[in-house]
Structure 1
Amino acid sequence: MNRKKKLYQIHQKRLKAAKAKGNAKNKVGYISKAERAKIEEAKDSEEVSVEQE
């Protein structure tokens, strides 16, 4: 690999890393199936209590 290409690739790699670091991470963390079931159950019970009133 010639020197110019190698320097270009290193530069592009550093730019990509800088952009990734600058962007905010908006992905929600993993929620297990059991936790999702608990959340759904809580939501359903709140809806039922609101409808009864």
Structure 2
Amino acid sequence: MSESAGPGRQIERDNLAELIAANEEIHGALTSGEIEAAEREMYGTAQSGRADAE
């Protein structure tokens, strides 16, 4: 990985954080149930042990 990859990744994370904040402003924050339903749809089962689970 090049040394320039670090700042690029930070910009990507910052942009993603801005998109998430804008979405939450419009639709409200996701609930644990909504996150689990999305995980079941994507992976076939909800992932356990999430650090940010409510």
Same fold (TM over 0.5): no
Q: Which has the higher helix share?
A: 1
Range of TM-score over shorter length: 0.3 to 0.5
Q: TM-score, normalised by structure 2?
A: 0.41
Q: Which has the higher contact order (CA 8 A, sep 6+)?
A: 2
